[in-house]
Amino acid sequence: MAPLASPAKKRLTAKQKQRRILAVIGGIAAAAAGRGWLDELLEGNDNRIKD
């Protein structure tokens, strides 16, 4: 098996790209929710700046 060090040589399928993008977005959303400010971002009130 070839090492996965060079992803440029391998073409990703559309489904793989979509899955990777969703994973990144999901990870960011999970981190935001874990810090408790995702709801404020979604509603437009950013309480982090006021505090």
User: What's the pTM value of the predicted model, to 2 decimals?
Assistant: 0.42
pLDDT of residue 28: 82
pLDDT of residue 12: 75
pLDDT of residue 35: 72
- Angstrom CA distances, 43 to 36, 38, 40, stand at 13, 9, 5
Indicate the SS3 state at residue 47.
helix
pLDDT digits (tens, 9 = 90+) for 1-51: 455 555 566 777 889 999 999 999 888 878 877 777 666 666 765 555 555
pLDDT of residue 47: 55
